[in-house]
Amino acid sequence: GNSVTQMEGPVTLSEEAFLTINCTYTATGYPSLFWYVQYPGEGLQLLLKATKADDKGSNKGFEATYRKETTSFHLEKGSVQVSDSAVYFCALPGSARQLTFGSGTQLTVLP
Amino acid sequence: DVKVTQSSRYLVKRTGEKVFLECVQDMDHENMFWYRQDPGLGLRLIYFSYDVKMKEKGDIPEGYSVSREKKERFSLILESASTNQTSMYLCASLGDYQPQHFGDGTRLSIL
């Protein structure tokens, strides 16, 4: 079945630093790919998505490009803020419309 | 915007109790899901439902059951709560196309 391998955390950065969180996947075909974010004390929110190869999803300064050659969907942001501190999850659909998630990466941004 | 509401943000129960977690969505979605979130494990699917009175086991259904008597409501039941069921529980709904929409979660402690 489909699976996701996500960079383990925690990750601690200073404000304005560059962020990369790695995500690779194993899947049949070319499913849509997602990044979700979970702020402290909240549920998951969709951060961005890409529906086909070479698509770039973007939102709130975050970007991720669907790379079928390397089966990757790495999350990047050029300049993180303290308010970006959260847990980030990479995900893709399974066989029954559920989502298969990576283990999550805790990001802490220090002022 | 889709709204998924979980009845409790925090819940404390005792070992052996029967526990009900409720989830309601307001978008007439057919698909609903219950996930469990644990540190380092990401989200794992417990049960899902693609229609009223229909249910399917996910990856970790042992010790749980579900009920879907109305389209908008999907309940997770811990038949006899145990300490290893202490966790964050997340409900999600899905319409015709991804992505899923999540509630804020219920943090359940079993003493």
Mean pLDDT within B81-94: 96
- Profile chain A (111 residues) by mean pLDDT over runs of 10 residues: 87 97 92 94 93 94 96 97 96 86 94 95
> Could you tell me the pLDDT band of residue B1, with boundaries at 50, 70 and 90?
confident
Q: Do B45 and A98 touch (CB under 8 A)?
A: yes
Best mutation target among A5, A87, A99 (most B Cβ atoms within 10 Å) is A99
Considering only CB atoms, B31 lies closest to which of A41, A43, A97, namely A97
Considering only CB atoms, B42 lies closest to which of A43, A96, A102, namely A102
Tokens of A42: 């909240």
Q: Do B42 and A45 touch (CB under 8 A)?
A: no
List, as one string, the DSSP characters of chain A. --EEEE----EEEETT--EEE-EEEE-SS---EEEEEE-TTS-EEEEEEE-STT-EEEETTEEEE-BTTTTB--EEESS--GGG-EEEEEEEE-TTS-EEE---EEEEEE-
Q: What is the pLDDT of residue B97?
A: 80
Considering only CB atoms, B90 lies closest to which of A41, A43, A98, namely A43
pLDDT digits (tens, 9 = 90+) for B31-53: 999 999 998 888 999 999 999 98
Q: Do B40 and A99 touch (CB under 8 A)?
A: no
Q: What is the pLDDT of residue A29?
A: 83
CB pairs under 8 A between A and B: 56
Q: Do A102 and B99 touch (CB under 8 A)?
A: no
Q: What is the pLDDT of residue A52?
A: 92
Whether the ω angle into residue B99 lies within 30 degrees of 0, i.e. cis, is yes
Q: What is the pLDDT of residue B39?
A: 86
Considering only CB atoms, A49 lies closest to which of B41, B92, B99, namely B99
Q: What is the pLDDT of residue B4?
A: 94
Q: Do A89 and B43 touch (CB under 8 A)?
A: yes
Q: What is the pLDDT of residue A30?
A: 84
Does residue B1 or residue B4 have the better pLDDT?
B4
Q: Do B90 and A44 touch (CB under 8 A)?
A: yes
